[in-house]
Structure 1
Amino acid sequence: MANSDLYKTPLYCKAYYIPGDEDLTYIKDNPLTKIEMCDPAKILQLCENLTDIRTKNLEAKSNIYFKSEAEAEKVFFINLFDVSDEAMIQVVQDKILDVPLRTSLGEDTISNIVEYKDETLKCAEDLDPKIQALIDKVVPNESGDLVLVPILAKERRTNIPKKLYVTPVYLVCFVNPNRDASFIIRLVHETFRYCLTLLLNTRQCEEEKRLKNQCQSLLSVARKLFSHLGDLNDLLKEIMSEARRLTNAERCSLFLLDPDHMHLVAKVFDGVSPTDKKTEVRIAKDQGIAGHVAATGKTLNIKNAYKHPLFYKGMDEATGFKTRNILCFPIRDEGGIVGVAQLCNKIGGGHFDYFDEQVANAFSIYCGISIMHSLVYKKIQDAQARSQLSNELMMYHMRVSDNDVADVVLCDKYHDMTDFDSFQFMPRKVLHFEIPCYIIKVFENLKLFEEFRIKRDILTRFLLYVKKGYRDLPYHNWVHAFSVMHFAYLAIKNFQLVELGYLSKLEVLAYLISCLCHDIDHRGTTNSFQQQSNSVLAGLYSSEGSVMERHHLSQTLATLNTEGCNLLECLNRSDYIKCLDLIKNMILATDLQVHYRLHARQVTMAMEGYNRKNAEHRYYLCSLLMTCADLSDQTKEWTETKNVARLIYAEFFTQGDLEKKMGKEPAAMMNREKASIPDHQLEFLSDCCVCIFQILARIFPLAEGLVESINQNIKAWEKSKPIFKQLSLNYTTSYEILTSQEFEDAVQAALGPKEQPDDLLGEEESSGEDQQGEEEEDEDEDDESEDKRPGEQTAHMCCEIT
C-alpha cells in the first residue's frame, strides 16, 4: 500500500457478503470475507475520554481501547522522536513506567520506517535492532505474535516550503492479538485519524512546558552563578550542584583547562570524602573522556561507561563508585574551551537523553561566562592587593640614589677575608655595609660579568634595592640573604658545579639571584600565621600555597622590573624566560613543604646517580641546592648556630605574642614561656637538616664535612639540655636562658676542648657583637618561613643514605 493510502477516508460500516446471510446483500465486494468493521461510537467514546494533559494517561486509555478491539494480550506505544533520533516506551498497557525505556536510533532508522511499504513491521526481519532490543525489555521474543503498526504524521518544515513532511511518530505494538493484521491496521489508522492530533499536541505541549521549565531553571542558575563570582571554588561547587540538578545526575566532576601545561585540572570534587577534597587531579588535555571532549569540543553521551574505550575503570575501583553512564560536555567562553563538565549516572536507572544534552549545552554557556567573569574578578582583586602591597613597600623603603650606587661601584677597598672560599667561613662576620661589595666579588670570581655582559651599576642598583626590600627583622634579613648566597657560591666553587656539568652558567646566575631574593620583604611570621590572620598576602596567594615564597618571588620580579635594576636585560629572549622560570622554581623550593614532596625523588636520584641530561634531575638538584643554602647556618660551628637560634627564636616568640593577642594558643616553639629550645633544635637538626645534607653528600662527597658539622651541633644541643633545664629555675623565659652568658659558658664547659666544633671547623667564634647588632638589623627571609625553622618541621622524614 502506498503512503498516500494511509490517509484515505476509512470505509465505515463496510460489510462483506457471507453465504447464507441474505440480509447483507447490499454490498458484495468480497463474498469470501467475514464482516469487519470499526465501530464509530467506540472511537467517539475514546475521543471523549482523552481529556488528560499528560501523554502517559492518554496512551494508557488508548492501550485499553486497542487491547479490547484487537483482543490482544497487551498493547503499548513506542514514541518516536525525529529531532533527537530516539525511541521511548513510557506506558505498557495501563501501567505507567517509573523510568521510561529509551534508546537512541541511527540517523536512517526513522526515515526507513516512512519508506516501509507494508503497514506492519515484523520484529525479526525488518525492525531496527535497537527498537527490537527496546521491545524485548517489555515482551521477550518467545512471548508469541507481535504486530507493529507505524503511525505517520504530516507537518510543515521551514526548509521544505509548500510541502508536507511525513515522519513516523508512534509504533503501536499488539502482543498476541486474536484479530488478523488487516483488521488491526484498519483499527489503528481509523482511530488515529481522530485521535492523533490530540496525542501529538499534548506531547508537544509537554515538551514546550519542559523547555519552559528548563529556561526558567537556567535563568535561576545564572542568578546563582553570578552571585559566586568572588570565589572561584564556590562558583565551581555551585556549577556542579546545578548541573546535577538540571540533568538529574548522581555526580558531577568539573575540570578547568590549564593552558600553560595543557592539562585539565580538578580542584573541587563532588561526592568524595572530606579528606580527599584538597587533592588536585590533573589529566592530559587529550586523554580520557574529559580530555577527548576538551580536544574535540563535542559532547559525549555514553550509555555504558565500561564498554567505552576512553573510560578509566581505576577511579571506580579506588572510590568504590560504580559508573553506569556519562554525559560529558565542554565549557566555553568567548576565547574557546575553558573546561569540561562530566556528569555520571542518571538517577532512576535510565541514561542521559537528547534533552539532557541540550540542557547541558545551554548550561555550559552560563558556566563559561561565569567562570570567565570570576577569573577576571579575581585578577582585579589580585591587582588591587598587589597595588596595596606595592604602595606599602614603597612607603616603607626609600629609593636608591645614584650616589649610593656610585659609592659601591667606585669602592676602592680590598674586601678580602680569610677563607672566604671555604665552608668554614662565617658570612655573618662580614660588615653590613660591605656585603654588596662582596657580592660583586662573587660575580667577578664566577666570571658572570663577562658571560652575560652584566653592567656593574645595574647589578649594584639591583643589590641595593634588594637590600632595602628586607625588613629590620632579627633573622629574616639582608644578612641571612647574604649567608644563603655565600653558601651557593661555595657550592658552585667547591663542588665544581659548572666545570663538571651539574649546572649551566645560566642556572648559576639564577641560583645566586634566587638566594639573594628568596626572603625579600619577609614579615617575620609563618605561612600558617598569614592564613590564620587573613592577611593581604594570604588573600592573594593562599589558593596557590607557599604564601610567603610567592610573595618573595613577586617582589623579586618587581625589583628586576624597576628602572635600572634589570641585570638580565642582555639575555636573549629564550634565556631570559628560562632564567625567570629557574628563579621561580628555586625561590618556591625554599618552602620545606615543597622539599618534602620532592624528598623521595631526590633520594632516588642520589642513590641511582645524577644524570646531567635528565631535566627532572636538574630540577631536583637545583631545589636541593637551594634548600641546603637556606639551612646552611646549621653547618657552622656551635657558637654561630646558637647565635642564629637566638635570632630565629626572637621572631618565633614575637609571632607567639601576636597569636596570644589574637586569642589563640601558639605552638610550643613559639611560646616564650613554654618552649624547650634544645629539644626543638635537636628535632630540627635530626629530622630535617641531617637528612637533607646527607642527600647532598651522596652526590658530592665533599659535603660529608657539612654533615659532620651538623652532627657536632647535635651533640652540643644534647649537652645543653640538662643545662637549659637547670637554668629554667632561675630565668623567667626560655629566650632569657638562650641569650644568657651563663648558658653559653656552661655549654662550652660541658663540651670540653676536644668536642668543641671549633676544632672541626678551624674557626674561633667571632663575637656576634662585633657586627654591632647587624644581624638583628638585617632582614633576611627564611627558607620557607615556617618549615625551615627549628621544631616547626615535624616532617618525620629522615632519609638514611648509606
Structure 2
Amino acid sequence: MASDTNELFPIPAYCKTIVGSEDGTIEDSPLQKLEISNPARILQLCEGLTDRTTKKLEIKINKYLQAETDASSVFMINLLTVSEEAMVQVVGDNILETSIRTPLSEDTISDIVEYKDNSLKCAEKLDPKLQTLINEIVTKDTGDLNIVPIVAKERRANIPKKTIVSPVYLVCFVNSSKDNRYITTLVHETFKYCLALLLNTRECEEERRLKQQCQSLLAVARKLFSHLGDLNDLLKEIMSEARRLTNAERCSLFLLDPDHMHLVAKVFDGMSPAEKNTEVRIAKDQGIAGHVAATGTILNIKNAYKHPLFYKGIDEATGFKTRNILCFPIRDEDTIVGVAQLCNKMDGHFDYFDEQVANAFSIYCGISIMHSLVYKRIQDAQARSQLSNELMMYHMQVSDQDVADVVTCPNSHDLPNFESFSFVPRRVFHRETPCFVLEMFERLDLIDHFRIKRDTLARFILYARKGYRDVPYHNWQHAFSVAHFAFLCLRNFQLVEKGYLSKLEALAYLISCLCHDIDHRGTTNAFQQQSNSVLASLYSSEGSVMERHHLSQTICTLNTEGCNFLESLSREDYIKCLDLIKNMILATDLAIHYKLHSRQLAMAQEGFTRSNPEHRYYLCSLLMTCADLSDQTKDWPETKKVAQLIYTEFFMQGDLERKMGKQPVDMMNREKASIPDHQLEFLTECCICIFRILSTIFPSAKTLVDSITRNIIAWESSKNVFDKLRVEGCTSYDVLISEELERQVQATLECMQDP
C-alpha cells in the first residue's frame, strides 16, 4: 500500500522521470509515457470535467495545474483561428466579467507552433499584442511567467485531405516554483486527456451561439417586416435592433441617394427630437460611412479618435464621446442601399462575432428597406390612381369640336396693348383665352420652329384649362395671366434673340406658366400636410407638395391621348424640355425662391453669363417667380380685385382649419386679418425685391418696379379707410370690397400724378 493516503493507488513504475534532449526540449515518445503527472490526480481531474461551458472547465484545469506547479495563478489564452483573435475569459478560478480580447493575424497564431515544446522561447517570441493582453492580467511585479502553447490537429475546409497543426491555447503560469521543463511536460500530459473535451465544448458553445444568433435574427426579421408600411419607423426599428444585437450605445443609419450620390440620415439614435427632424447629408465617399458605402466592406475601428476618417466635430457639438465604431454596408440583391454605424460597444470592443452578426443583420435590413420602398411605391401608385379617378370624375373630356373651334377661330385676337406690361389679361373673356394662348405660341414662332401640330397643341391647352378647379384665385384665369406675363418677357426682353434663353427654354417657360397651378385645391402646402391629404402622402417627403402635384398633372395631361404636342422633338430635346418644366414649376414654390434669392441677386449684380448653366437656372427660376406674382405689377384697381380673390381663398382655408380644430394664422382668419398690413409686407419684403433683381438684368423692367411702388403707396393710403370702417364694425374683407376704399385710394393716386 502506498504511503500517500491521498492517492487512490501507487504510482506505477512506468511513471518515472525521463531526461530530455540536449537542447532542453522534450522528445516525443512513441509510448506516450507519463513522466511527471500523477495518474490518479489526472483521472480525478478528467472525472470532474463534466461541465457544459469552457469557463467552468478552465477553472478546474487552472486549479489542477496551479496545485501541481505551486504557481500563484494559472490562466489560459484561447487562440481562435476563425475570428483571428486571442481571448482570456478565466484567470485562476475567477470568471472575468468581460472577456479580454485582442486581434491576431493567422500568421502570428501559426508561428507559435514552432515553440510548442519550449515555454521560455515561446514567451520571448510572443506577438506584442499578446504581450499587451497578458500585461492586462499580470503585472511586472508579480514574478516569473511561463507560457506553454497547446497545439491540435484540425482539418481545414479550404485545404481538403490535409491535416493542419495549429495552436489552440496558451497556458500561462505566474510565479511557479517548478522549472520550465517540468511545467511544459505537465501541461502536455494534462492536455493529452483534456484537450479534446475542451475543444468539443468550445465548438458546442459556438454552435449554441450560432443557434441563439439565428433565433435572434429571425425575431428581428419578424419585427422589421411588421414596420414595412412606414420607412421612418422601419429605420428606427433597425437601429434599435442593431444596438441590441451588438450591445452598442448608439446607432446611426444612412440611406444612399443614388441620384445625388449622397448618404442621407433623417434620424439619429440618441439625438434630441429637434435634431431628429434635421436631414443630414454626407458625400458617398467621405468619412467612415462614406468609405464603407464606397468600398462595400465592413469597418471595425477600435479607437475612433486615432482613425484618419473619423470626424470628431459631431462629438464636440453633442458632448457624446465616441470610443469605437462598427460600420457596415446594407445591401439589396445587387447594390449598396445604405450604411449602418454602431458606436461604443458597452462591454469593450466590437469583435469578430459582432461583425458576423452585422453582416447577417444587414441582409435583413436590405430586404426590409427595399420591400418598404416597394410598398411605398405601391401606396403612391394607389394614391395616384385615386387622384386620376377623382380628376376624371371632376372634368369632362375635350371634344374634337372644341379643338376645331380653337384652331379655326375666325377672330383676329389683336387686342390693343396686348404686348405691353400694362395690359390686363384678366379682362380677356374666359371662352377666348385658349385662342389667345395659341396666338402667343404663334407670335413666339414656337409652332413652326418645333413643328408642333396646331390641333394637338389646342387639345393640350383645353385639357390644361379643364385641369384647373373653380377656386377663387388659383384658377385658369390666374394661369392665363401668368402665361401672358411669360409671353411679355420673351417679347419685350428679347430673351431668345439676345441669348438669355434658348428656343427650347422659351417653350418650357410658356408651358410651365400655363400649367404651374393645374388642379390647385385653393389651399397651401402647409394645409395639405396638416390635413394628411392624399397629396401630402404622395409628396410631403420631397417637399413642395402642391408644386409636385401640378408637375405630375402636367405630365399626365401631356400623356393624354392626342395632347402630346412635344412629340416632334428629338429624344434629347424631349427629355431636356421635361426637366426644364420640372425645375420651372417647382420654382413657383416661394420656399425655393427664398433659397435661391441671394444667388439670383449675386448673378444680377455680377452680370448674367449666358454660358453658365447655374445662371440660366437662376434666371429661369426668377422669370417663373415674377410671372407668378405679375398681378402685383398691374394698376391699383386690378391689384385690388386680385386681393379680393386671394383673401376669399385664404379665408376659405381658414374656415376649414377651424372645422378641423386648428387655429388659422391671422392672414387666413377672416376675423383677425389686417389686409393692408399683410399686403404691404408681401409687396415690400417679397415682390419688389424680386422685380428689382429682374430690372437689374433687364433695365426696361423698371416700369414693373414702379408699378409695385405705386401699389405700395395705394395700400399705405388704404390703411386710414380700413381703420375707420373697422371701428364701425366692418370686417377687413368688407372694407376691401367697399366703394369708399376704391374712391379714396384712387383720389390719393390722382393727387400724386398732378404736377
Corresponding position of 1:626 = 624
Q: Which amino acid aligns with 2:573?
A: D
Measured in 2, the distance between the counterparts of 1:375 and 1:250 equals 28
Q: Which amino acid aligns with 2:320?
A: F
For 2:532, the equivalent position in structure 1 comes to 534
Extract unaligned runs of 5+ from structure 2: 1-11, 20-33
What is the Cα deviation at residue 646 of structure 1? 0.2
Identify the residue that residue 200 of structure 1 maps to in structure 2: 199
Deviation at 1:284, TM superposition (A): 2.8
Contact 1:151 1:168 in 2 (8 A): yes
Structure 1: how far apart are the matches of 2:422 and 2:221? 66
For 1:582-626, what per-residue CA distance to the aligned partner results, in whole angstroms no more than 9, with x for missing partners?
111111111111112222332333333333332222222222221
Q: Is the 8 A contact 2:115 2:122 kept in 1?
A: no
Structure 2 CA distance for aligned equivalents of residues 220 and 723 of structure 1: 71
Residue in structure 2 matching 1:505, options 489, 500, 503: 503
- SS at structure 2 position matched to 1:238: helix
**For residue 257 of structure 1, what is the aligned residue in structure 2?**
256
Partner SS for 2:36: coil
- Mapping 1:175-574, distance limit 5 Å: 175-348=174-347, 350-574=348-572
Matches of 1:408 and 1:12 in 2, distance apart? Answer: 119
Output one character per residue of 1:484-536: Cα deviation in whole Å (capped at 9) or x when no partner: 11222222223332233322221111111111111000011111211222211
Distance 1:318 1:123 in 2: 48
* CA–CA separation in structure 2 for the residues paired with 1:402 and 1:121: 102
| Matched residue count | 730
**8 A Cα contact 1:230 1:377, kept in partner:** yes
Q: Structure 2: how far apart are the matches of 1:714 and 1:11?
A: 119
Indicate the SS of the match to 1:525.
coil
Q: Aligned residue for 1:43?
A: 42
* Equivalent residues of 1:12, 1:37 under 8 A apart: no
Higher mean C-alpha deviation, range 44-53 or range 592-601: 44-53
TM-score, normalisation: structure 1: 0.87
1:736 to 734, 737, 747: 734
Taking the TM superposition and a 5 Å limit, the aligned residue runs for 1:603-614 are 603-614=601-612
CA contact (8 A) 1:727 1:743 kept: no
Aligned partner of 1:14 in structure 2 is: 16
Deviation at 1:706, TM superposition (A): 2.1
Q: Distance in 2 between matches of 1:275 and 1:700?
A: 43
1:179-227 deviation digits (Å, cap 9, x = unpaired): 2111111121122222223322332222222211111111111111111
Residue by residue over 1:274-331, the C-alpha shift from the partner in whole angstroms, topping out at 9 and shown as x without a partner, is 1122222223333332233223322222222333333333333333333222222222
Q: In structure 2, do the counterparts of structure 1 residues 591 and 318 end up closer, same or farther at CA, with 3 Å as the change threshold?
A: same
Query: Using a 3 Å threshold, how does the CA distance of structure 1 residues 152 and 702 change in structure 2: closer, same or farther?
Result: same
8 A contact 1:121–1:127 mirrored in 2:
no
- Letter paired with 1:325: N
- Are residues 281 and 613 of structure 1, via their aligned partners in 2, closer, same or farther at CA, if it must alter by over 3 Å? farther
Which has the bigger relative contact order, CA under 8 A and spacing at least 6? 1
8 Å contact 2:332–2:363 — kept in the other structure?
A: yes
CA change 1:318–1:452 in 2 (3 A) is: farther
Counterpart for residue 704 of structure 2: 706
Of stretches 606-615 and 153-162 in structure 1, the one that deviates more from structure 2 is 153-162
Q: What one-letter code is carried by the residue in structure 1 that aligns with 2:600?
A: Q
Q: 1:597 is aligned with what amino acid?
A: K
Spell out, residue by residue over 1:332-353, the C-alpha distance to the aligned partner (whole angstroms, 9 max, x if none). Answer: 22233222222222122x2211
For the Cα contact (< 8 Å) 1:251–1:344, is it kept in 2?
yes
Secondary structure, aligned partner of 1:108: helix
Worse-superposed segment, 599-608 or 658-667: 599-608
The SS at the match of 2:727 is: coil
- Displacement of 1:158: 4.8
Cα–Cα, structure 1 residues 496 and 75, in superposed 2: closer, same or farther, change >3 Å?
Answer: farther
Distance change (3 Å), C-alpha of 1:418 and 1:684:
same
Cα distance between partner residues in 1 of 2:496 and 2:340? 48
Indicate conservation of the 8 Å contact 1:602/1:621, yes or no. yes
| C-alpha separation in 2, matches of 1:691 and 1:251 | 47
Read off the aligned partner of 2:168 and give its amino acid letter.
V
- Other-structure match for 1:800: none
Q: Distance in 1 between matches of 2:493 and 2:143?
A: 89
Partner of residue 113, structure 1: 112
Alignment of 1:139-158 (within 5 A): 139-140=138-139, 145-158=144-157
Distance 1:117 1:216, change over 3 A: closer
- More deviation, 319-328/227-236: 319-328
Q: Which moved more, 1:674-683 or 1:250-259?
A: 250-259
- 1:121 Cα deviation (Å)? 5.7
Judge conservation of contact 1:530–1:537 (CA < 8 Å) in 2: yes
User: 1:75 touches 1:174 (CA, 8 Å); kept in 2?
Assistant: yes
Corresponding letter in the other structure for 1:119: N
Gaps of 5+ in 1: 1-9, 18-34, 761-802
Work out the CA distance in 2 between the residues paired with 1:471 and 1:531: 20
Match of 1:794 in 2: none
| Separation in 2, partners of 1:574, 1:194 | 79
What pairs with 1:784-799 in structure 2 (closer than 5 Å)? none
- Name the counterpart of 1:797: none
The letter of the residue matching 2:165 is: V
Tell me if the contact between 2:251 and 2:341 (Cα under 8 Å) persists in the aligned partners: yes
Task: State how far apart, in whole Å, the 2-side matches of 1:703 and 1:100 are.
Answer: 77
Determine the C-alpha separation between the residues in 1 that align with 2:97 and 2:103.
19
701-710 or 267-276, larger mean C-alpha shift:
701-710
Matched position secondary structure for 2:481 = helix
TM-score by length of 2: 0.92
Report the identity percentage: 74
Shift of the 752–513 alpha-carbon distance from structure 1 to 2, 3 Å rule, reads closer
Q: State the shift of 1:144 in Å.
A: 5.0
CA distance 1:201–1:695, shift in 2 (3 Å): same
> Do the aligned residues in 2 keep the contact of 1:549 with 1:587 (CA within 8 Å)?
yes
Amino acid at match of 1:335: D
- Deviation at residue 712 of structure 1 after TM alignment: 1.9
C-alpha separation in 1, matches of 2:600 and 2:96: 61
1:242 offset after TM fit, Å? 0.8
Which stretch shifts more, 513-522 or 208-217? 208-217
Change (3 A) 1:178 1:702: farther
For residues 132 and 116 of structure 2, what CA distance do their matches in structure 1 show?
A: 23
| CA pair 84-11 structure 1, distance change in 2 beyond 3 A | farther
Does residue 753 of the first structure (1) align with residue 750 of the second (2)?
yes
| Distance in 2 of aligned mates of 1:300 and 1:121 | 37
CA contact (8 A) 1:470 1:519 kept: yes
Question: Shift in Å at residue 61 of structure 1?
Answer: 3.7
SS at match of 2:119: coil
Q: Deviations over 1:219-271 (max 9, x none)?
A: 11111111111111111111111111111112222222222233222222212
Q: 1:12 to 1:419 in 2, by over 3 A?
A: farther
Asked if 1:166 is matched to 2:172, the reply is no
Tell me the equivalent position of 2:30.
Answer: none
Give the conservation status (yes or no) of the 8 Å contact 1:123–1:132. Answer: no
Task: Specify the alignment match of 1:576 in structure 2.
Answer: 574
CA distance in 1, matches of 2:204, 2:43: 23
**CA 1:137–1:283 in 2, change beyond 3 Å: closer, same or farther?**
same
Once the two structures are superposed, the pairs formed by residues 585-604 of structure 1 within 5 Å of their partners are 585-604=583-602
